[in-house]
Amino acid sequence: MLPKAKKGAGTNLVLVACDERSGINADALNAVIKEAVEARGYVLLERPMQVRSSTDTVGVTFADIVGYLLGRLDTIDVGKFDELSAEQLETHGDFKKHESARKLVEKIKSLDLYVRSE
């Protein structure tokens, strides 16, 4: 989801914040993220910050939700829906979950994100 970096006056600098997870080694996390952002032309300004999800970390909570929805899309086998009738699809739990996740991801993709300047 990370676009290629723009060129000029620090527009290629990036900071990364992610969920705090006890099973993730900070050095390994740094190496993976650094490689990924550099491949897109960015410079990792600081080591990734692992933060605890809360009402003070809205961006991390937003990323949690997006990750959850994308995970649903990846794990539900849509091939099994091919043999179902329209009537069966209306009541099929996995189909409803997949469709709701797909629709929410489409809405998220259409969001215009901006930074408010004071």
Most confident range (mean pLDDT) of 2-6, 25-29, 62-66 is 25-29
pLDDT at residue 35, rounded to an integer: 94
DSSP H or E run through 62: helix 58-75
| Cα gap 116→118, rounded to integer Å | 6
Q: What percent of the chain has pLDDT over 90?
A: 36
Does residue 49 contact residue 18 with C-beta atoms inside 8 Å?
Answer: yes
Does residue 65 contact residue 58 with C-beta atoms inside 8 Å?
Answer: no
Higher pLDDT, 4 or 38: 38
| Cα gap 65→69, rounded to integer Å | 6
108: pLDDT strictly greater than 90: no
Q: What is the mean pLDDT of residues 2-9?
A: 67
| Cα gap 70→66, rounded to integer Å | 6
Taking Cα atoms as reference points, which of 70, 67, 66, 91 lies closest to residue 81? 91
pTM: 0.62
| Residues 13-55: tens digit of each pLDDT | 888 988 888 888 999 999 999 999 999 888 899 999 998 888 8
